[in-house]
């Protein structure tokens, strides 16, 4: 069996099982209870190091049904060479919590359709962290679930991939949830985006820039998310978000809700705001 080994364990999140479990429990215990009018079919979470993004991501994961059969993890693409939606086709992903099996049957159903825009590529996932940091959350909350890792670059193919994903899930009658992994605005001199300089003005600008993207994502406007991110650089995984919206809608989701928003500066302030990243959690049901 092919094993995708972790590349950022011990850096983005703890490298041993006990520390992972303790940290996940701490994040999840702080999530306030809430009710939804239907089952959770998808959502959006961030993917920075857990110390920054974990509390936000927990707001979505706390609402995922532990009996889900497959968690589709749609990832941002941070590396060159991934030009089309690419699924990790089989085997397992290893984390400090053990091996999490890939839903190979669903992967095959997705890529084998004659009109599929999704390809099979282990290489697309070799060093990408956006999906990896989600795997221990899945293992902790839904230990029997399989995953389907799907890297989604920001192109028009993302919308079609989401539609085809929903069809494949319905064809296999899978109980599945779509989780897109994307951070938001990267603001500051380090990132080359600082139109109002640093300090409180930069933090306020980031809030406003993120708010537009989050509103579109919560409205399940997949086309709008793609256009907004291209125009204002307020998501690093807009393809993943758009595909998750399309797939969740295809499974029956009709509503989205912003559960939590913050920035790296507000999580761990280190002097005045300078370089910072936005994080949001959205749910589709």
The predicted-structure confidence for 110-131, as pLDDT tens digits, reads as follows 999 899 999 999 999 999 999 9
Q: What is the pTM of this model?
A: 0.96
Close Cβ partners of 246 (under 8 Å, ≥ 6 residues apart): 158, 159, 161, 162, 163, 165, 166, 222
Terminal CA-CA length for the chain: 34
Q: Is the pLDDT of residue 34 over 90?
A: no
Least confident stretch, 33-47, 53-67, 168-182, 255-269: 33-47
Mean pLDDT confidence for 131-156:
97
Question: In this structure, are residues 8 and 98 in contact, taking their beta carbons and an 8 Å threshold?
Answer: no
Comparing C-alpha atoms, which of 250, 49, 231 is closest to residue 132?
Answer: 49
> Cβ neighbours of residue 234 under 8 Å, at least 6 residues apart?
184, 185, 209, 210, 212, 213, 228, 278
Whether 249 shows a pLDDT value over 90: the answer reads: yes
Give dist(CA 237, CA 164) in Å, integer: 19
CA distance 150 to 277: 23
Q: Is the pLDDT of residue 45 over 90?
A: yes
Give the CA radius of gyration of the chain. 17
Arithmetic mean of pLDDT over the chain: 96
Q: In the prediction, which pLDDT does 27 show? A: 98
Q: Beta strands 146-151 and 119-120: pairing type?
A: unpaired
| pLDDT tens column, 219-232 | 999 999 999 999 99
DSSP category for residue 275: S
Going across the sheet that includes 3-4, the strands are: 3-4, 92-95, 98-101
Q: Within 10 A of 236 (CB to CB), how many other CB atoms are there?
A: 22
- What proportion of the chain, given as a percentage, has pLDDT over 90? 94
Band of residue 79 on the pLDDT scale cut at 50, 70, 90: confident
- The yes-or-no verdict on residue 192 having pLDDT over 80 is yes
Residue 35 in this model has a pLDDT that exceeds 90: no
Report the pLDDT value the prediction gives residue 30, as an integer from 0 to 100.
Answer: 95
Q: What pLDDT was estimated at residue 157? A: 97
High-pLDDT (> 70) share of the chain, %: 100
pLDDT value of residue 94: 98
How confident is the model at residue 112, as a pLDDT? 94
Residue 33 — pLDDT band, cuts 50, 70, 90?
confident
pLDDT at 266 over 90: yes
Matching residue, tokens 């393809």: 239
Q: Round to whole Å and give the CA distance between 265 and 185.
A: 12
Cα-Cα-Cα-Cα dihedral sign, residues 63, 6, 22, 18: positive
């Amino acid at each position: 069996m092919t094993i995708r080994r972790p590349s950022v364990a011990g850096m983005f999140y703890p490298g041993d099982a006990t520390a992972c479990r303790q940290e996940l429990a701490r994040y999840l215990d702080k999530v306030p209870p809430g009710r939804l009018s239907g089952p959770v079919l998808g959502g959006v979470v961030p993917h920075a190091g857990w110390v920054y993004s974990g509390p936000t991501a927990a707001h979505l994961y706390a609402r995922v049904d532990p009996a889900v059969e497959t968690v589709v993890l749609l990832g941002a693409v941070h590396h060159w060479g991934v030009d089309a939606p690419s699924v990790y086709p089989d085997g397992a992903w290893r984390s400090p919590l053990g091996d999490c099996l890939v839903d190979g049957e669903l992967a095959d159903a997705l890529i084998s359709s004659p009109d599929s825009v999704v390809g099979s590529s282990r290489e697309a996932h070799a060093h990408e962290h956006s999906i990896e940091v989600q795997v221990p959350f899945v293992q902790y909350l839904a230990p029997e679930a399989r995953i389907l890792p799907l890297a989604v670059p920001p192109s028009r193919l993302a919308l079609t991939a989401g539609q085809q994903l929903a069809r494949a899930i319905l064809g296999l009658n899978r109980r599945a949830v779509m989780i897109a992994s994307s951070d938001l605005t990267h603001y500051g001199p380090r990132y080359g985006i600082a139109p109002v300089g640093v300090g409180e003005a930069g933090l306020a600008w980031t809030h406003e820039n993120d708010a537009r993207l989050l509103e579109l994502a919560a409205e399940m406007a997949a086309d709008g998310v793609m256009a907004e991110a291209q125009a204002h650089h307020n998501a690093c995984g807009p393809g993943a978000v758009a595909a998750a919206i399309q797939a969740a809608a295809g499974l029956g989701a009709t509503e989205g809700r912003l559960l939590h928003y913050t920035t790296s500066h507000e999580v761990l302030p280190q002097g005045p705001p300078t370089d910072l990243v936005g994080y949001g959690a959205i749910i589709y049901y």
